[in-house]
Amino acid sequence: MRSQAIVSSSRFSRQPEGNVALENLGTIGRRFSSACRCSEESTKIFGAMSNSTSSTSTGPAGSYFEGQVGASYLISLLVGAEPRGLPGTMIDLVAFQRAAEGHPLDDVIVYAHDVQGKPAVLEVQVKKGLTFAPGDKIFRDVVGQVVEASRKPNFLNTRYELGIAISRTSQNIDGAYQDVLTWARQLGDPAIFINRINRPGSASDKMRAFVNTFRAHLKDAGAAHDHASVWELPRKLQILVFDFTAAGSASEAVAKERAVRALHPEDASRAASLWAELTELAIKIAAAGGDRKRDELRAELVQKTFRLAEDRHNLPALAALAEASENTLADISDRVGGVMLTRHERVASVHAALDGGRYVEIRGDAGVGKSGVLKHFAQQISPKRWLSP
């Protein structure tokens, strides 16, 4: 009888979000671990931001969770780290509550640039309890916002991303729904995408249900809902999980780790205070429909007696690491006879195992697909990811 890959969790504390180690992937007892990591020009192209813009017409949500999501982008701006949803970039400006300025997903708007200086924009709508199920009316409304955003000039031809920030994930979100978004990004033709979704044994019923729900919401929004539209818009959409409300939050651990990097080494013990300050600041900026550039943010924090570290310039190194990771994943075959083996259940088991431990062990005989499980898991984490030995 042919062996199957077995996924189990080890007895360690959960590792911060975006840093997932997988051990014992070799077939002769070899062990290794991989971490899945998961300008002015940009504002000129996509619209200038102003600190004085009022959000009274739309009204900021004002929730603490929304402040934490906003603060996560402020801390990335502060330390020069890549923002969630825009891998391979550095932030130029973070703006809040900008529906009146033509940003339908208006809670957080991130303006950034990549290593070549090309601009990138991310609009984020914060919806704490979204489930993406067929009966989720909030998801229907968000799809309407996605349709509105897609009507921007050159939306499809520029790096303009849309994100939905949620506080809790599920097996369906981690598995089927993220798989649909990944397939849409990786398949360059709508006919191939739809055929694969509809083909029995290729996509799961839950994946098909998600696509059908998305199509129905497009129709409700009065938008085109043909095969091309159902493929095209998910290519720009990301589900971003920020587990700030969970006990032992991985997202908060990552934020505080970055806060340590932001501070002078002698003040590293103030990381929790810095993170709390940034959360309150994000709520305050959102209430005014404001924004912050890096120099402005640094000056504001210095006035509050925080001693900050010197600047770091690591984007070129991160870009090189991202390229090497993409090449590594490309070398892992996930097809047999030209048919992709998606391994939905095994990948879902990896996500579930990570809820109970820091490390995940994937075991099985040679050729059962251990590396394939790793590849599909890495592709779900982010449109681009870094694998580091």
Sequence ranges of the domains in the chain: 6-37+316-388, 40-241
Q: Considering only CA atoms, which of 321, 352, 347, 361 is closest in space to residue 31? A: 361
Choice between 7 and 179, residue whose per-residue pLDDT is larger: 179
Mean pLDDT of the chain: 81
- What pLDDT score does 33 carry? 35
Q: Is 335 exposed, middle or buried (0-12, 13-18, 19+ CB in 10 A)?
A: exposed
Answer for the pair 335, 341: CB distance below 8 angstroms, yes or no: yes
pLDDT at 28 over 50: no
**Residue 283: which pLDDT band, with cuts at 50, 70 and 90?**
very high
What angle in degrees, to the nearest 10, is found between the helix axes of 178-186 and 370-381? 90
Distant-in-sequence, close-in-space partners of 70: CB < 8 Å, separation ≥ 6: 94, 96, 107, 108, 279, 282, 283, 285, 286
Which pLDDT tens digit goes with each residue over 89-117?
A: 999 999 999 999 999 999 999 999 998 99
Cβ-defined contacts of 105-110 (< 8 Å, 24+): 105/142, 105/145, 105/146, 105/149, 105/162, 105/163, 105/164, 106/58, 107/60, 107/61, 107/66, 107/69, 107/70, 107/165, 107/286, 108/69, 108/70, 108/73, 108/165, 109/49, 110/73, 110/83, 110/85, 110/86
Q: Considering only CA atoms, which of 371, 345, 2 is closest in space to residue 201? A: 345
Which pLDDT tens digit goes with each residue over 353-362?
A: 766 566 778 8
Which of 45-59, 101-115, 305-319, 342-356 is predicted with the least confidence, judged by mean pLDDT?
A: 45-59
Q: Considering only CA atoms, which of 82, 85, 111 is closest in space to residue 317? A: 82
Q: Strand 335-336 and strand 35-36: pairing? A: unpaired
Average pLDDT estimate for 302-309: 95
Give the tokens for residue 71: 């603060």
**DSSP label of 320:** H
What are the Cα distances from residue 170, in Å, to 132, 175, 241, 362? Answer: 10, 8, 10, 21
- Coil vs helix vs strand at 199: coil
Answer for the pair 74, 93: CB distance below 8 angstroms, yes or no: no
The rounded distance, in Å, linking the Cα atoms of 160 and 389 is 31
Give the tokens for residue 333: 């075959």
**Residue 338: which pLDDT band, with cuts at 50, 70 and 90?**
low
The rounded distance, in Å, linking the Cα atoms of 120 and 130 is 26
> Which residue type sits at 161?
E
Chain centroid offset of residue 53 CA:
27
Answer for the pair 128, 138: CB distance below 8 angstroms, yes or no: no
Average pLDDT estimate for 188-201: 94
